[in-house]
Structure formats: structure tokens, C-alpha cells
Structure 1
């Protein structure tokens, strides 16, 4: 049982019931999930030079919200991040949108997600410049998540931060204190102030601003050691969808059963939902078209690459990914001998009736 199977079976009925109120991106995803790796997507012709055999597989939909099409992307991104890794202590900062704003954020996702990114990034960059903390310009990588593990709507941004700053005159490298970057309660207040100011400027009505200022906004900052584990942890979720096929258990009699790891106890829990509710929860995590869920700020921004490379040279940083990633190669492998195959062409009509996927 896969998520694609659920949408393949119940997608038409869901569209018939809710299609008039659905976003185009949600309709497209239902279409893509239903047709992914089926004859409707066409056929890919592969050739294995090792065993001299030809193979044919149904083409993937390549929708970024399809759980069957993202396996290679996370490893590619992970290797790229190891190339950016510095020999310093790393920190993870997490900024969570308060519950009072989640309902309206769900209906205006692009505005709220952009504001969440911008406010959180400005808050941490600003506080880090304070002489009490780093006293310079830091670099951060932000990744947006919109779900809790039970598929409920829970927008938050993770920032991966090397414990290093560059002075304003770019003549001095400053290192963080051991296991400490900034004070989270102060960061929370700055984040809240910047976000609420942006919300006021957006012109959105019906928001209780007094309640927002009387609520503590959840911000967590913690040391994650050398950064390798944090980079690997982050990579798992960069291209992950709200739920993976591995956690799907069954879809019977209009009910979907899946498992998830409970955050506090780390134990697996099983949840059963009506199929339309499961589909609704899954679709609410589809990002707006063209939305960039990974963003770089400060000295890690692509436009600051010259400065970053100078820092790498001064610190004698080396590109040294873990052994298990050294020989990674993307692409399809031969189902007979396991060697990497060569792409030949994409066909509209299948040349034979035997397929591998």
C-alpha cells in the first residue's frame, strides 16, 4: 500500500466532492500521484552496458510532493552540504508559528511562509551581530516544514548554523562560545516583533494582536556538535513528503491506517483516518507553486560565496563526506546485475509488455 495507491483509488471521488474549492496545485498533485509510474506517464528505455540487456520502466511524475520521486534528491543535497561544512561547532535553531495563526496561515500559505522565513532569519542574524553573542555576520541555512508527524498543520523553520561569524570589516573570524550561540528567549521576542510588524503591513484583518503579544513564541536553539548528524538529519526532511510510503499500513473500507513516531516518547503510534481526511491532511502540505523551501542567508548566501571560500581556506576546511556517501551514484540500476544503466530514450508507447520499476 502506497500513498499513490490511495490517490489512484479515491482521487476521482475527492475531486468530485471538493474540486470546485481546491487549489490548482492540489488538483495537479492528485493527477500526478495517480499516474506516477503507470503506462499513462510513458516508458523509459534503459540499457545496461555490463550485462548488455535493455530494460523498460514506467516514468515517474517528478512532482516534488510525490513520495515515490524524491529518493535521489536528498542524497544529492546532502553531499552538497558536506561541501559547505566548516570545522566548527554547529547549532540548530527552530522557529514555530504559534497556534493562533495556523488556521489563517493555512489559507494564505505563500504570504505566511515567506513571512516566517524572513522574520526568523532577520531575528537570528540581528541578534548574532550583538557583541554579547557573536558580534558579526553569521551564515544560516533554512528549511521549511509544515507538518507534525500525525500530518496535522504545524509550520516551522529549521536553521542549520555554523558557530562562526565574520566581523563587519571582514578582517576577523569570530567563533561561538562552547555549546552556546544566542539566548533563545531573546531570539523569540525579536522574532515575534518582526513577524507581527510584517503581519500588520500585509493588511490582513481579523487578527487578535494583543493575544499574539501575550503568547510566548516557541524558539529552540541547541548545539548539534560537528554538524554531520544535523546535516544528515536535515537532509532526510528536505525532500521528504508529509508521510512516507514506508509508514503506510493499509487502506480498507474507506479508512487509511498509518504509523508515526510520537515526538516525546519516540515510540511508534498507529492512527486510522477516514480516507478523505487523510487526503486532506496530506494535501495541506503541498507548497505553493515555485515556492523555495530551502534558503541561504548571511555568509552562506550564494552571492557571498567568495567570502565563504576565503573563510574555508583560512580554516583549511576540506570536502570530506562520510564513507557511505563517497561512492554514491544517482540513476537507475540494472535489475539483473545491479550496475548503473544508461538512459536511452523516453517512449510514449511501450515496446513490450514486460516492465521493471
Structure 2
């Protein structure tokens, strides 16, 4: 299994999601041959969604108790155990979306797919329309059902900073 964590969507808004590639089988217990998955079956998506949600949130709790998570600014209060647990509570009830699709090619195609996610910047030159001292303008794709794949333009104000002045 290989996975890539993304924390933003195409509009550069907070949209945490994970791209995961899982083999359709594995080595036999003695390591001498490949055993493929049953045709037409990998995992029931609803079961996978709930299992992933539970394990992910349990993992966050383990990291929090071990003091591996650090919070800054407005989130500093999450360092407290009861505050962090309360913050996670709505996530335990929310449905998490798992989208699974069948294999889409040979190993080279799979690596090409994954590399597009691991070796790109948040805003490529191709999407950039303009940038000056006040605004950055770029194209983004709206994937909501109402606007399915509709190209949009976003203008963001450049944050003023006293750093370097």
C-alpha cells in the first residue's frame, strides 16, 4: 500500500483527503507466488469507510496521548486531552467518503498516477492567471455535483506582512 495525504483541494481550500493505492493481491505465505484478489471484489466500500474512520481517529488519539501532535495559534487548546476528544467527536459520527475504483493499468500507469500527486505544487503555472502585489488569480475546477467539473476563477488577496521590511 502507498498513500499520499493532501490537505487542500483544487481551490486551495482546506480539504484533507488521502490517495491510496493498494495491490490487488499479495504474496503467498511462503513468498513464492502472487495470489490475486477474487474477480470483482476488493473490499465493501461502506465497511472500508467506517473501518478507516475508526482506525484513523484511534491513531490520532494515540499520537495525541504520546504528545506527538503539536498545535499552534487558535488550535493551541487542542493540546488538552478533553478538548481534543471533544473536537474529534463530530468526526466519529460523520460519514467518511471512500471512493474505490478497479485497477487502471499496469505498474507504470499506477506509478505515473501517484507521481502526479507527490510531485506537484499547490498552484501550478498552468492554473495561474495573474499575480501582483495585491492579488493572485488562478483557475480551479468545481467538482460539486451542481457544477460538475466547471472551471472557475478565484482571486485571493495577498496577505500583507511586515517580515522583511
TM-score by length of 2: 0.70
Note if contact 1:149-1:260 (Cα within 8 Å) is conserved in structure 2.
Answer: yes
SS at 2:51's partner residue? Answer: helix
1:171 deviation in Å?
A: 5.0
Unaligned runs of 5+ in 1: 1-139, 280-357
CA distance in 2, matches of 1:182, 1:224: 13
Find the counterpart in structure 1 of residue 95 from structure 2.
216
Seen in structure 2, the aligned counterparts of structure 1 residues 196 and 143 have a Cα distance that, compared at 3 Å, is closer
Structure 1 residue 260 corresponds to structure 2 residue 121: no
Aligned residues: 139
Note if contact 1:144-1:155 (Cα within 8 Å) is conserved in structure 2.
Answer: yes
Seen in structure 2, the aligned counterparts of structure 1 residues 276 and 196 have a Cα distance that, compared at 3 Å, is same
Find the counterpart in structure 1 of residue 76 from structure 2.
none
SS at 1:220's partner residue? Answer: coil
Find the counterpart in structure 2 of residue 335 from structure 1.
none
Seen in structure 2, the aligned counterparts of structure 1 residues 199 and 238 have a Cα distance that, compared at 3 Å, is closer
Any residues of structure 2 matched to 1:222-301 within 5 Å, and which? 222-227=101-106, 228-252=108-132, 254-264=134-144, 265-276=148-159
Q: Deviations over 1:271-317 (max 9, x none)?
A: 1111129x9xxxxxxxxxxxxxxxxxxxxxxxxxxxxxxxxxxxxxx
1:176 to 37, 47, 56: 37
CA distance in 2, matches of 1:271, 1:181: 39
1:169 deviation in Å?
A: 3.9
Seen in structure 2, the aligned counterparts of structure 1 residues 234 and 171 have a Cα distance that, compared at 3 Å, is closer
Runs of 4+ with deviation above 4 angstroms:
none
CA distance in 1, matches of 2:95, 2:101: 18
Unaligned runs of 5+ in 2: 66-78
1:151 deviation in Å?
A: 0.6
Greater C-alpha radius of gyration: 1
2:3 to 142, 155, 158: 142
Any residues of structure 2 matched to 1:83-122 within 5 Å, and which? none
**When you count helix as a share of all residues, which structure comes out higher?**
1
Seen in structure 2, the aligned counterparts of structure 1 residues 252 and 170 have a Cα distance that, compared at 3 Å, is closer
TM-score by length of 1: 0.35
Any residues of structure 2 matched to 1:62-73 within 5 Å, and which? none
